[in-house]
Amino acid sequence: MHELDHYIYPHRVLHWLVAVAVLLSLASGLTLGFLGYEGTLDLLGNALTNLLYTSHKTLGVAILLLMTLRIITRLAFVVPDHEPPLNAFERVVSTSVHHLLYAGLVAMPLVGWAATATGGFPVEFFHWHLPGLLGKNEALSQTLFVWHERLGWVLVALITLHVAGALFHWRIKRDNVMKRMSLFD
């Protein structure tokens, strides 16, 4: 395989690690969002509810760290060419979705971090408590949690477009787009 046929291996690994972390984070976030604290507590009990909240926060911090590394590798290394080249529409949609995904995957954990801190809750990464960076402000916390939820739905839509595009290139066009991010050479 030609060196410009795919992203560098660390970038591909980061892509799939982010994908798994985002899916788990969305699953836990949707669970917490639909059930609320009391509903989650009633359904899962105290220990599992606390584990779910800690896991969701940990995944958010992990996504932020992984996305920082992804941005560094994306800027530092050559982006592989599309072979065959994308048409103008595909190029605009692909670029737009990718840029919005990157922005959303950085903004989402930052807004969650701020919402958690201003709500007076611990910002956790596994069992470590990270600095809140903002003081308690319940009104601001409520607003930030609303935006955190909205960003979650935007990410669901963007991920759906991203996966649909990947499947389109893989199963319909049968071009080389999928091998660019494949873990297997």
Domain at 68, CATH number? 1.20.950
Q: Cα(96)–Cα(101) distance, rounded to whole angstroms?
A: 8
Range of the domain at 106: 3-180
Question: For position 79, what pLDDT does the model report?
Answer: 84
Q: Which two tokens stand for residue 34?
A: 């639909």
Q: Cα(3)–Cα(8) distance, rounded to whole angstroms?
A: 8
List pLDDT tens digits, range 21-32: 999 999 999 999
| Contact by Cβ (8 Å): 35, 29 | no
List pLDDT tens digits, range 120-151: 999 999 989 999 989 999 999 999 999 999 99
pLDDT-derived band at 5 (thresholds 50, 70, 90) equals confident
Structural domain contains residue 123: yes
Q: Cα(7)–Cα(31) distance, rounded to whole angstroms?
A: 34
Structural domain contains residue 110: yes
The number of distinct structural domains making up the chain is 1
Structural domain contains residue 185: no
